[in-house]
């Protein structure tokens, strides 16, 4: 479907004493990929919040295949899985600079109205940008 790729260089502070990326940092890599995917279609999170829309993560699954290490240049491929409704779902693949698949992941986020704090349908201006 709609895929965007983002490069991220692994920083020293994201690793343990063996130079391996700490597993908790992968959530940040997914967020970076997701935000850049949105920006690539012209949607900016700051504007969403100004329109009283937020997107909290409600589900996240990661499968670790091989370790990312200090200094790696990671490519995060972020793919929209289907047309959003009250939620939006993404699949991810993270590869190192050698092209090795390191991690696969999935996230589901809910559209939430910041005024009411209740779920809401995906705003039309986002659907208009998706072209799906």
- DSSP assignments along 54-75, one per residue: E--EEEEEEEE-S--BTT-EEE
Active-site annotation holds for 16:
yes
Phi, psi of 18 (to 5 degrees): -95, 0
Residues 47 and 76: beta-carbon distance below 8 Å: no
Q: Could you say which of 16, 47, 100, 129 is catalytic?
A: 16
Residues 78 and 3: beta-carbon distance below 8 Å: yes
Q: Could you give the residue numbers annotated as active site?
A: 16
């Amino acid at each position: 479907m709609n895929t965007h790729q983002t490069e991220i260089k692994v920083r020293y502070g994201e690793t343990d004493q063996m130079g391996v990326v700490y597993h908790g940092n992968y959530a940040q890599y997914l967020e970076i990929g997701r935000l850049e995917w949105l920006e690539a279609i012209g949607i900016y999170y700051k504007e969403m919040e100004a329109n009283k829309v937020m997107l909290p993560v409600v589900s996240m699954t990661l499968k670790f295949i091989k370790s990312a290490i200090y200094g790696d240049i990671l490519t995060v491929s972020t793919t929209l899985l289907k047309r959003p409704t009250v939620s939006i779902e993404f699949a991810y693949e993270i590869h190192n600079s050698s092209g090795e698949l390191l991690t696969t992941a999935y996230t589901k986020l809910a559209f939430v109205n910041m005024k009411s704090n209740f779920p809401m349908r995906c705003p039309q201006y986002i659907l208009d940008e998706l072209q799906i």
